[in-house]
Structure 1
Amino acid sequence: SNLSMSMTSKYGLFKKGCGPFASEVYRLPFPNPYRPPVGMDADAWIDWCCWNLDNALVAQIDGSALACIVIEPVMGEGGFIPTPAKFLRKIREVCNRTGAVMIADEIQSGSGRTGKMYAIEHSGVVPDLVITAKSLGAGVPVSAVTGRAEIMDAPHLGGVGSTYGGSPLACAAALAVLDVLHEPGFMAQAQTVERVVREVWEPLRTELPIGDIRGIGAMMVVEFVKDTESKEPWMEVIANAVPLAVQRGVLLIRAGLYSNCIRFLPALDIPEDMLREALTAVADAVREAYGKLRESEVVPV
């Protein structure tokens, strides 16, 4: 929709050639612990971003005019960056003070992906609205908005409509998914995925240009850089590795602000041997792509 396109800042992929867009959408710096400004450590960067939330209510918009703050508890397209709990608590504080609605975007991180039903549960923060989709239907197109009754019941009868809203097939699929997610121990399998991803990739830091390995549960990413000190993004190594991984039988998709990350979103119940086989195939693809790039250009070693 026009409004959701107005909200995203990934211009080239989603907005190019479209518009005009809605105004009065404000974006604030996100406290990515891996990329603090020069001269700041991660903690100082998070503190500054918390301060900037208050500052924005003076510099950009008055609190009385603020409708909502939307945040991904784990940044998706931005590179699978877990939002620091301190920042989420500050958003909750600002929303409580101004009367704004805190919205947790759990499209990618929800439905058990991180080991809890919603990723924001890891922080202990309770949002006013939660939006979910993707894994909620296990392949069947479905999305949902869950929230406080006084918000959900606020529109007049017929004020919220949808051509496909309440699709019996989609609802049946989502209910079946929820039943599986709540089977004893099912969501806990996300911890196994995280453990295996780290076990495969951590030893490769000395061999491959890995800048960061991060994520929660079955929502993991490996970020690649030209130099671990400067953290200069290396998009080319991923662009070359993705088709090589496909040749090895693994479908990949890039992520991150600089498209220099490989994201891993395996099924929670994937057999461990299959997961290790896939991760090894990806590592081999990256190794081959990295080797070819080193042959064709001078890169730091």
Structure 2
Amino acid sequence: MTDTSAGPRLLGSAEVRLLAAELDLRPTKQRGQNFVIDPNTVRRIVRESGVTGSDVVVEVGPGLGSLTLALLEVAGRVVAIELDELLAGRLPRTIAEHAPAQAERFEVVLGDAMRITEVPGPPPTALVANLPYNVSVPVLLHLLALLPSLERGLVMVQSEVADRLAARPGSKVYGVPSVKAAWYADVRRAGAIGRNVFWPAPNVDSGLVAWTRREPPATTATREQVFAVVDAAFAQRRKALRGVLRSLAPAERVDAALEQAGVPPLARGETLTVEDYVRIAEALDDQLPQDPQTPQDPQEAAG
């Protein structure tokens, strides 16, 4: 008889491979499918995330359920967003088999995390995920924009992407992801993850990024307008702002806006804070599109 009072039984290497064999699953690089096979790693991710029993957690790309089960040990509710129909279909049974006492606190949503417009149930308070590496930045930015109820999160991404998300002005890796993430949250590196905890093992290193929501800078400009300035500033990151921002406005207008914002015209984008970009956007307000489209291409969004 199953003990429904027990905590979830986490997936190890053998269980992951058995599930994959059952589904005739061949992980694809296209969907960034690398499954965690080490219970200690998923427990570490949950511990570092700070999730508690009062949290409603959104997970993206749950795959076979390794991290999902670890989240259900702690979280009040977990909503998992899965793009792969085969994986989404198997996941509820995996939860019922490995976490029967927690199954009613779990829901899976079949869909693309970059294109969802809502999450069912109570407003989520935390995002914890092993994000698909090929789309990690646009997924993170989309969910931060979509779900203002998110208070904090911890995501696993490619190590160099983790560095870029957490970078500070002046760093060589500071760029579009750094500035846009800083609009929503205080971001920090939270550790590294070895390749041997995945199946199949990726050919890149992995890193953890933690963030805590903060109020965006007070501004009369819209977020889209600020982000348009950010995109322009890093389009040619080795060039001075007075040159690259001419894609947004005439030269004399750019010079006046930079002076008004208190930003040296020969400064480069990698030296500016998100607040600097806000002041430039305010000064260029009438020159910026009122409803520009936020880039959806993963490479473009990753800057």
TM-score using structure 1 length: 0.27
TM-score using structure 2 length: 0.27
Higher relative strand content: 2
